[in-house]
Amino acid sequence: MLDVVEIQNILPHRYPFLLVDRVTEIEEGQSIKAYKNVSISEPVFQGHFPGHPIYPGVMIIEGMAQAGGVLAFKSSSKEAQEAAKDKVVYFMSIDKCKFRNPVRPGDRLEYELHVLKHRGNIWVLEGKAYVDGTLVAEAELKAMIVDK
């Protein structure tokens, strides 16, 4: 389990763009479970949408990708983990993306990612996002770890 301080030691993202609050399970090289608590105080709700706040789908996918980045870095060798501060994860592609249900303020957005393929610095992940056990989004993510 990783808390937000430990996540910030891995990812370069910061408020308002750090979209993972906690990692609840990690099986290095295989899978990760993490979550984000969606709050009405987030800046995105000022414009998406006034009077009918819906958490944007692109933010859900970005949160999945950030959880995948944690998985990739934690699955690396100790030397690579120490060099993480000089690395960043870039999207290469987002495929098979579907949004199933809206996410609203007050929801706990749970991310589950599984490694489909890993070769060198390239990772292909199957990601799913849930609220209260209901699938809200899914995508296949391809990412690369690169030097900053």
- Residues labelled catalytic: 48
Omega prior to 16 cis, within 30 of 0? yes
Q: How do strand 108-119 and strand 87-99 relate by DSSP bridges?
A: unpaired
**50 φ, ψ to 5°?**
-55, 130
- CB proximity list for 27: less than 8 A, separation 6 or greater: none
Helix (H) or strand (E) holding 5: helix 4-10
Buried b (16+ CB within 10 A) or exposed e, 99-132: beeebeeebebbbbbebeeeeebebbbbbbbbbe
